[in-house]
Structure formats: structure tokens, C-alpha cells
Amino acid sequence: MRGRQRVSSREHILGHDKDENLASVRIPNAKPCWRRSLRHVIVASLSSFLYGYHIGVVNETLESISIDLGFSGNTMAEGLVVSICLGGAFVGSLFSGWIADGVGRRRSFQLCALPMIIGAGMSATAKTLWGMLLGRLFVGTGMGLGPPVAALYVAEVSPPAVRGAFGALTQIATCLGLMGSLFIGIPAKDIVGWWRICFWVSVIPATMLALFMEICAESPHWLFKRGRTIEAEASFEKLLGGVHVKPAMNELSKSDRGDGSDSVKLSELICGRYFRVMFIGSTLFALQQLSGINAVFYFSSTVFESFGVPSAIANTCVGVCNLLGSVVAMILMDKLGRKVLLLGSFLGMGLSMGVQVIAASSFASGFGSMYLSVGGMLLFVLSFAFGAGPVPCLIMSEILPSNIRAKAMAICLAVHWVINFFVGLFFLRLLELIGAQLLYSIFGFCCLIAVVFVKKNILETKGKSLQEIEIALLAQEAN
């Protein structure tokens, strides 16, 4: 009996250990529920909504603003109203990495909301051109701080299986912000002073971002790097669920071994060992802007009206195409992968600009020219939205090493804002000087360069954790 009991007890113990081993294998492979992290990503996406709103708010209202503030017909002043916030965005973006690493992702979102609230109020109450420019400058600093922090936060709180879809969700928020500003701005030409209401409306989502972020989870990656392990575990539990905390912490420790980002020098990012990944990120953002996409968003009303198309109809179509393309990106991001979407997107944009060139040439006239121009522009926006729009921020937040991620994103996006600024400032002037045909040819050529660049330099990251991507890149560099 005793022998049997000992054997029975031993078998019981071995069986129990076996079950535990099986459980330890199953738990890491089980996918965390995406619903837990979704609400945190939605709140973070409010910063992207504000970014889209402030990009588009001057589209319908620019004419009314210029008349009320006394600079109507001055294309340089109009271009400055559009692009001054991009100058502020450059400053905000440049310091975003240091802010995000210093105070954390949640507090960075709240700091992003503050200048947007102040700047929107200043713009809404402006009596002169200089008052408007100062308000737009304040708004721009918040615009510059928001996108890099949003890209970091979404990448760090999302389960790997849905990180692409959640990254595309921020682009959808940008589209909704852009569409919202266009729709709200429609009465601006008929109602005196309506443009001031358009600026006041943006205070609502900015306030929501500041308040709701107080109850959102902090990035466990940032907490872990700061040595706050217990808080990182609590954050993982809130984002992924209790059974996934230990596997997530074990994986996090593979690459994040306390080599804090404070030890990284600026020289290492610009011309040191991280030069290649910085070059890839900066070039990708530069090509995104040189494609001409923001010229379309800023001045679509002006371009369409030159063909006799009512701006309300044109902007509605632009907004719908942008939203539709972003939804397609969200569906396909984790299925086809980031690189495929980028290649298809830039190629489609290049072909669309080719259509625009034909529309502006002597081969097309009358209604044919109008249909080609409007159709080409809508196809351009659609192509942008399913790849070149959402992918660059997402893929850079994935391939950048954890110890430089925030600062490197800041510098890469600063390049984005510099080129965005000059495109917004000089687009109308260049349209007057060199004509639509040559200008669209330049944009199309940049799109084709982007196709070649993506093919040679961008790695696929779908379905991999941030730690797996970082380890794979380190191994590649070693080889």
C-alpha cells in the first residue's frame, strides 16, 4: 500500500509539474485580448485627431480669415498662416523625445494638449495677422509633440498581433479630425466670423485628451527603463491581462537592460552607430512630405475651385477617400505587412500625379481636364492613406532600438515638419511661378524615388514584438 501510495504520489507530482510546464508554454503563445489596450489607444488618438483638425481648419476658412484680418490676396501671408504652425511643430517635435523620456508618455500627451488649448483661443480671438500667427505657432508646438509620442505610446502598449491595426487607428483619427475641420468650416464663407467658432471647437478634444489621459496606463516600456518594475507590471496587467504579465516582462528584459536613453548622445544619433536607422527614418519622412500630400490637404479648395468644382463637394470627397484608405490600411496592416503597403501606396501616388500632369497639359481641356484633375487628386489621397500615411510613424517606432526610440523619433519627425513647413509656405507661389504641370511632375518623381528607397531599406515587422524586432536588427548589424 505504501509503495503504491509513493508511486501514486510521485506520479501526481510529476503530472502536476507537467501541467505547469504545459501552462508555461501555452500562456506566452496565447494572444492578449486587444480590447484591454484599445481604450488607451483611442484616448492617445485624440492627439492625432487634433493634428488632423488643425491641418485642415484653415482650408475652408483661409479666405474669410484673410478678409477679416486684412491680408486678402497676399499669397505669402496666406501661406504663412498655413505653415507657421508647422514651424511650431518643428520645435515641439524636436524636444518631444526628451519630454517623453523625462516625464513619461501620459504627461507628454497632457503637455501636448496645453498649447493647443491656448493657441486655439488666441487664434479664435485674433484681431490682426500677427495675433493669428502667434496663435497658430502655439498650436504648432502641440502638433509637433503629439504625433511622435502617439507613435511611441501605441507601439509600446499594443499587443504585437494588432499593433499595425492600432497604428492605423491613429491615422483614422487624423482623417476624422481633417474631415471634421472641413465640414465645420463649410459655413465660413457665408457666416461672418464663423472661422472663429472653428478654432474654438478644437478646445473640446484637447481638453478631453488632457483629462482622459490621467486614467490611462503609462507605457510599461518607459516604466521599466526608469527602474519602476512593479508599476510596469501593473501597467501590463491593465493592458494585457494578468496571465500575460510575466511573459511580457521576461521579453521586455531581453533588450531593455537598464541602458537608459539618458546615456545616448546626440552625436551618436546623427553621425554615430545609429546613423543608418536615423537616415532611413528621416528619409522616409522627407519623401512622405515631398510627395505633395499636405499641399493637397492645405490647398485642395483652391485647386478644385480653379476647375469650377465647389469646395464643399471637393473637400468632402477628399475626406472620404482619406478615411476609406485608412480603414483599408487598418484591415491589411497586420495581414500584408508594412512594406507591401508602403510600396503600393507610393506607386499609386506616383501614378496619380502622372494623371494630374496630364490634366494640366494641353492634351486635356474642359471637362476632361477637370475629371482627370479631380480624379487624380482623389486617387492620390486614397493611395496615401493606405500606406504612406500610417506606416512611417508606426514602422519607425518599431525598428528604433528602445534606448533611443523617443529621441530618434523626435529628430526624424523634425525633418518631417521642416519639409512640411516649406511645402505649405511655397506651394501656391510655386504653382504661380512654374505651373501645375512641372510642380506635379516633381511630386510624382519623389513618389517613384520613395518606391526604390522602401524596396531597398525597409524591413518587414508585422506580427513581431518590439523586442524580437530589436534583437533581429542587432543580429543583422552584427552579421
Dmax (CA) of the chain: 103
- How confident is the model at residue 478, as a pLDDT? 58
For residue 299, what pLDDT band results from cuts at 50, 70 and 90? low
What are residue 278's phi and psi, to 5 degrees?
-70, -40
The fraction of the chain above a pLDDT of 90, given in percent, is 25
421 belongs to a structural domain: yes
Report the alpha-carbon distance of residue 56 to residue 50 in Å, rounded: 10
- How confident is the model at residue 477, as a pLDDT? 60
247 belongs to a structural domain: no
pLDDT in tens, 13-35: 334 444 434 344 444 456 777 88
pLDDT in tens, 55-101: 888 877 888 898 899 888 787 888 788 878 878 888 888 888 889 98
252 belongs to a structural domain: no
> In sequence order, what DSSP letters do the residues of 421-432 get, joined into one string?
HHHHHHHHHHHH
Report the 10 Å Cβ neighbour count for 225: 23
Alpha helices in 70-193 (DSSP H): 75-103, 105-124, 129-157, 163-185
pLDDT in tens, 457-474: 888 888 777 777 777 666
Report the alpha-carbon distance of residue 80 to residue 479 in Å, rounded: 49
Q: How far is CA 58 from CA 52, 84, 385, in A?
A: 11, 12, 21
CATH number at 152 reads 1.20.1250.20
147 belongs to a structural domain: yes
Report the alpha-carbon distance of residue 252 to residue 247 in Å, rounded: 9
Residue 428 has pLDDT above 60, yes or no: yes
pLDDT in tens, 331-387: 888 888 889 999 999 999 999 888 888 877 766 565 667 777 778 888 998 999 888
241 belongs to a structural domain: no
pTM of the model: 0.78
Nearest to 55 by CA among 171, 150, 168: 171
- How confident is the model at residue 71, as a pLDDT? 85
447 belongs to a structural domain: yes
- How confident is the model at residue 12, as a pLDDT? 40
Nearest to 420 by CA among 323, 311, 306, 297: 297
131 burial (CB, 10 Å; 0-12 / 13-18 / 19+) is: middle
Exposure of 399 in the CB half-sphere (CA atoms within 13 A): 26
239 belongs to a structural domain: no
| Total number of domains in the chain | 1
- How confident is the model at residue 311, as a pLDDT? 65
- 307 is written with which cell numbers? 476647375
Collapsed DSSP state (helix, strand, coil) of residue 118: helix
230 belongs to a structural domain: no
- 345 is written with which cell numbers? 501606396
- Angle in degrees, CA 240, 246, 252, rounded to 5: 85
Q: What is the DSSP letter of 134?
A: H
Domain range for 364 is 37-216+259-478
Report the 10 Å Cβ neighbour count for 371: 15
- How confident is the model at residue 303, as a pLDDT? 65
pLDDT in tens, 150-200: 988 998 898 888 888 888 888 899 889 988 888 888 888 888 889 999 999
**Residue 159 CA from chain centroid, whole number:** 18
Rounded (10°) CA dihedral 57, 62, 68, 70: 140
